[in-house]
Chains A and B, each alone.
Chain A
Amino acid sequence: MSKDIHIRRGSNLNLEGEANKILVDIPVSKTFALNPDDFFNITPKLIVKEGDSVKKGSPLFFSKHNPRIHFVSPVSGEVTAIVRGAKRKILQVVVTSDGLNEAVTHEVPNVESLDAEAIKEIILKSGSWPFIKQRPYNTVAQPEDSPKSIFISTYATAPLDVDFNFLLKNNKDDFKRGISILNKLTTGDVNITVEKSFRGFFDSIDDAKIIGVSGPHPSGNVGVQIHNIDPINYGEKVWVVNPEDVVNIGLLFSTGQFSAQRTLAVVGSSVEKPQYYKATIGAALQPYLEASAVSPEEEIRVINGDVLSGSISSEEGYVGFYNNVVSVIPEGNHFRMFGWLPFVDNHVPSISRTSFSWLFGSKKSKVTTNLNGEERALVVTGEMEKVFPMNIFPMQLIKACMVEDIERMEALGIYEVVPEDFGLIDYASTSKIEAQDIIKKGIELMIKEVG
């Protein structure tokens, strides 16, 4: 038993449209796409061209900085489009399924006999390596590193996030197999963080440290957990894996094939039937949105991920590589007369006491994408600290990133944060500061200058 942690600072946003615990299986879509932007700081080098036929598990592109890291097709079929944007940047590699589901099969010897290098080789070759991410920076892990420890957070606290106990219920054995494989990759511990009050089946896992976590969002963010359990020091690497990707790695070693399983929760106030789906990485979102009955009358925003840190997609978009949640909320492009007066328009949720919305604590609120104001100079102090449960000064770190002072960013703890930890700061900021964007640019600068 290891020591449980309790996070005090933060805030749970109680939003409309939480997913019902129903797992629905609908016919898979025809088109699939991989979006290189899902992988932070990866420059893709294409292997395929339009018209090539691929199997499930055939590489589509690899990382320019580390050619060992492959990104593979989640389905068998034909590469039908390579969508490029400004400066010929690759936006999407689209594969149209042939329905045959042929897969590249790798030979997997008995796991017990393999050492770390052999296991890494299998994961790399199969295209499953991008499932493993590293802290600092939240980039795809470097196979040459040996991490201090590996963290898996099964406690999801972001607004409308999934319930991993429900999500993993059919894959308990694969999850356990995945954990024992990850154990071989580190000399330290494999840590699984669980909801303190409901530990589920995780307590039956022997070869990992099970740590209970309680408290409001962002206590479910793996970065916040690492900071409060075993903070990252200069030069150290910690690897993190999403729970379902542990299953995918487990499945790889039982079937020898790349597994792209992605249980998807379509949530938000703009869908009538928020529920879970058996989906695949890169699948077109359209069928899932349709099955969830997206309300037709309003203009909506489709988000790959949660409403605080997800990325903008569209009804024609595809399931992202890492997210289990697709949030659908109304766009807020309308005016509110005198809406800036304190204590009026209390239907707009606020964690500030300049509104009475906290009185309706138990009522689920409907949110839009309205900025609820305009960007202003940084005036109010202390509000960031209230939703940032780390022993780091968030405003000072943001300012260091803005002036690109690398030494100061390092001293103030840039290695311990990733943009998603600043999601609530974005949300709560009086001056409408784009904290996640500033931190992201800061991290890009760190990678460029320090590596």
Chain B
Amino acid sequence: MSFLRNKIDQIKKPFAKGEKWEKFAPAVNAFDTFLFVPNHTTHKGAHIRDAVDLKRTMVTVIIALLPALIYGIYNTGYQYFIQTGEAFTFLDAFIHGSWKIVPMIIVSYVVGLTIEFIFAIYRGHEVNEGYLVTGLLIPMIMPVDIPLWMVGISTAFAVLIAKEAFGGTGMNILNPALTARAFAFFAYPTYMSGNKVWVSEASNVDAISGETILGSLAAGNDVSYSMFEMFQGSIPGSIAETSTLWIAVGALILIYTGVGSWRIIVGGILGAAVMGFLFNLWGANALMSFSWMNHLVVGGFAFGIVFMATDPVSAAQTNKGKWIYGVLVGIFCILIRVFNPAYPEGVMLAILLMNVFAPTIDHYVVEANISKRKKRWTLTQLKTA
């Protein structure tokens, strides 16, 4: 270990302060701190610090994402083989899925991290770890057959416009991963919606119908899947959004570690359930009478509320605000699903909309605290006057 350490210190020498390549230090430090927690000590403030840091937090999110990702990879192969009617094993399905999805992940990481590194060097700050999560999220919410260059362009758009233009990590208004999806959705609609994109090779093999449940409901067709299939996720859809079961496992990891806000998750489920229930009572069309319980397990709702809405930067930041934000995401998700059949997937738009309103929600929560304090001040002035 000390050998490796010495080697790294040697490599880092020309990047030290006042040396030739000082400007590129953030890039080298990013690799160094990936191997070692640095030897920095406290200089001011508290002399001791918690073991938690941003890297640890972000990696926890990645751990929470893994169950859904692995199931998503398997489900990609499963959907393909089940519809073509070929005999297959778990491994076949997994390999088929990996063949499709791993390149997407690589493209997303390479494009995104390159931009992040350039901006870190340009701005002279360390590389923030936030992109480790964003870079994994982007492929997970794309349809499986989207061309790789579209993944690359969407990623570049999201990182440049949604994140760096606002000042980088911690400053963005919109969730970068969802911005990438929204960009692809509006720029390449034929690759992002319809009944030919959700199952691997659907546009090349005639036997495959790649329609999602929400898509067929919007078209007025019947749904042939049982609720259990919807819950376990053996249905067509974006790569990792289908399995509510494995997303729930991720949600438990996020809630247990405190990395994801349980207030947003619980609020979102409540909002969606109540809204779905109200539409059930109304029941004017197929989407309205689609049971509220089913609404929670189909489409991207579960994935969105657990992994997207809980992004601490773009969500509301006060505890009360998080409740309001979560509930509204749930309500708007179902509302958009039911009222706008052109966009059967409402959760993306609901979260992006609430991202924009989150600062407003916080504003009113904080103002309430301020006006309470000011009221206390005037009360005491009256007493002493």
The CA-CA distance from A392 to B313 in the complex, in Å, is 20
Q: How many Å from the CB of B379 to the closest CB on chain A?
A: 8
Convert A293-304 into 0s and 1s, putting 1 for each residue whose CB lies closer than 8 angstroms to a CB of B: 000000001010
Query: By the criterion of a CB under 8 Å from any partner CB, how many residues of chain B are at the interface?
Result: 61
* A-chain residues with CB within 8 Å of residue B46 when the two chains form the complex: 307-309, 423-424, 426-427, 436
Select which of B54, B318, B372 is within 8 A of A379 by beta carbon: B54
Check A314 for interface membership: any CB of B closer than 8 A.
Answer: no
Q: Are A333 and B54 in contact (CB under 8 A)?
A: no
Q: Are B38 and A354 in contact (CB under 8 A)?
A: no
Q: A329-B47, A337-B35, A377-B169 are in contact. Are A370 and B57 (CB under 8 A)?
A: no
Convert B22-41 into 0s and 1s, putting 1 for each residue whose CB lies closer than 8 angstroms to a CB of A: 00000001000111111111
Q: Are A352 and B257 in contact (CB under 8 A)?
A: yes
- B10-18, B122-130, B200-208: which lies at the interface: B122-130
* B-chain residues with CB within 8 Å of residue A375 when the two chains form the complex: 126
Q: Are B36 and A393 in contact (CB under 8 A)?
A: no
Total number of residue pairs linking A and B with CB closer than 8 Å: 214
Q: Are A369 and B42 in contact (CB under 8 A)?
A: yes
Q: How many Å from the CB of A248 to the closest CB on chain B?
A: 27
The CA-CA distance from A380 to B45 in the complex, in Å, is 20
Check A437 for interface membership: any CB of B closer than 8 A.
Answer: yes
Select which of B39, B57, B170, B373 is within 8 A of A333 by beta carbon: B39
Q: Are A385 and B51 in contact (CB under 8 A)?
A: no
Q: A352-B257, A354-B56, A385-B319 are in contact. Are A377 and B168 (CB under 8 A)?
A: yes
Question: Taking CB as reference atom, which chain B residue is nearest A15?
Answer: B48
Q: A376-B54, A376-B128 are in contact. Are A435 and B45 (CB under 8 A)?
A: yes
Question: Taking CB as reference atom, which chain A residue is nearest B369?
Answer: A393
Convert B218-247 into 0s and 1s, putting 1 for each residue whose CB lies closer than 8 angstroms to a CB of A: 000000000000000000000000000000
Question: Taking CB as reference atom, which chain B residue is nearest A396?
Answer: B366
Q: Are A427 and B50 in contact (CB under 8 A)?
A: yes
The CA-CA distance from A112 to B126 in the complex, in Å, is 64
Q: Are B47 and A303 in contact (CB under 8 A)?
A: yes
Check A316 for interface membership: any CB of B closer than 8 A.
Answer: no
* A-chain residues with CB within 8 Å of residue B7 when the two chains form the complex: none
Check B20 for interface membership: any CB of A closer than 8 A.
Answer: no
Interface size class of A (residues with CB under 8 A): 35 or more
The CA-CA distance from A351 to B261 in the complex, in Å, is 16
Which one of B37, B51, B128, B374 has the greatest number of beta carbons of chain A within 10 Å?
A: B51
* B-chain residues with CB within 8 Å of residue A110 when the two chains form the complex: none
Q: Are A376 and B53 in contact (CB under 8 A)?
A: yes
Question: Taking CB as reference atom, which chain A residue is nearest B167?
Answer: A377
Q: Are A373 and B63 in contact (CB under 8 A)?
A: no
* B-chain residues with CB within 8 Å of residue A437 when the two chains form the complex: 44-45
Check A189 for interface membership: any CB of B closer than 8 A.
Answer: no
Q: Are A379 and B53 in contact (CB under 8 A)?
A: no
The 10 closest A-B pairs by CB, nearest first: A373-B53, A377-B170, A426-B46, A339-B37, A348-B51, A352-B52, A350-B51, A340-B55, A335-B36, A336-B37
**9 A-B pairs (CB sep. < 8 Å):** A233-B376, A233-B381, A342-B59, A372-B37, A372-B51, A373-B52, A380-B54, A395-B317, A396-B366
